[in-house]
Every structure is written in C-alpha cells, then in structure tokens.
Amino acid sequence: MDTTDLVHDPEENRVPLQKLRFLLGRFRGEGRYTKGTGVFYKETRGTWEAGGRFIGLRMNVTYPLADGRRDIHEAFVMVGAGSTLASFEAQAYTDGGIIMNYHLECDGNAISFADRPPTDLGSKVQRARKRLTPTAEGFEERVDIDLGNGDFVPYSIVRMQRVGK
C-alpha cells in the first residue's frame, strides 16, 4: 500500500520547527562536569513526528558508577511550536514515570529552557537551565546552575556528534 500523502505538504507543517532542525538525526556524546572528573555518555535520536508538526527526541544517558556498574536513564521528549515564532513547548516522559513540561526559547541559533536542578549538589542549587547550540558536527548541550546568588555557572557540557546520516 502506498502511504504517500498527496493532499498534505509535510514541508509546510515543518516550517514552525525549522530552528530545531539541528536536533534531527542520531547523536552521541561524552559529557563532562565543569567541576570534578566525572563523565557521562548520552545518545539522542531526533525525528519528525505527526507529519512534521512535532519533533520527537528519544534519549538515554549512562552514568558510570565507581563500582563498575552503570546507571542508565531513558526519556522521550515531544517538541511542538509555541505561541510565537521564537518559542516552543515540550513535554518529557522519563523512565522513572515523571512527566515534565518545558517552555523553550530561541536565543539566536540556540534553544534554552529552565530544567530540573541536578540532585548531586543537594539543596545548594536553586535553579538550572539547559542550552542547546548547533555545531558543525551536531550540537552542544550545556547545563548551567544557580547556586543561590542569581548568577548561572556552568555545570556540565556534552558535545553531541552526528552518527551516520
């Protein structure tokens, strides 16, 4: 059966999400914390969904543990156009059963949004934000945190490299 849709133009549906096109494809990266020596590994796959009206992001992060085991977390994020051309709405579903809503803002060619603060620093972290910036090889994902003085400082950085086409 031919599933070609000659009535609806998928490119027309994709227009509002063009700024996020850099998230499409398969990516891998090794992340580093700005303080300390820890590393983590991240994989992401971004696809057009629902005829180009959304971008689906499937991701997993692996944290190596001191005893040789690995702590692996998976999430699925669905991103759609927001109320303006410079904003997007996202909903994330985690393997722990958490559902989170995000409001993404365009900042030049990058996307940024408020995120959950990391838990490894305890209650010191007041808030966190994530910034995704396109690069020639994929994109950089950076998490900044506020330790209570109102200023954001870098917490972690992972350069996601495109895998295959």
130: domain CATH number is 2.40.128.20
- Domain span holding position 49: 10-162
For the chain, what percent of residues have pLDDT higher than 90?
A: 66
Q: Residue 123 half-sphere exposure, CB side, CA atoms within 13 Å?
A: 0
pLDDT digits (tens, 9 = 90+) for 56-106: 999 999 999 999 999 999 999 999 987 666 679 999 999 999 999 999 998
Euclidean distance between CA atoms 63 and 86, whole angstroms = 33
Residue 47 lies in a domain: yes
Give 99-103 contacts, CB < 8 A, sequence gap 24+.
Answer: 102/77
Mean pLDDT, the chain, as a whole number?
88
Residue 164's pLDDT is what?
Answer: 83
Which residues have C-beta within 8 Å of that of residue 122, sequence separation ≥ 6? none
Residue 3 lies in a domain: no
Residue 4 lies in a domain: no
Phi/psi of residue 51, each to 5°?
65, 25
**Paired strand residues for 161:** 28, 138
pLDDT digits (tens, 9 = 90+) for 105-126: 988 899 999 998 887 766 778 8
Residue 126 lies in a domain: yes
Domain count, the chain: 1
Residue 133 lies in a domain: yes
Q: 57 is written with which tokens?
A: 């992001």
Instruction: Tell me if 89 sits within 8 A of 104, measured CB to CB.
Output: yes
Residue 40 lies in a domain: yes
* Cα 52–Cα 58–Cα 62 angle in degrees, nearest 5: 160
pLDDT bracket for residue 163 (50, 70, 90): very high
Residue 2 lies in a domain: no
Residue 140 lies in a domain: yes
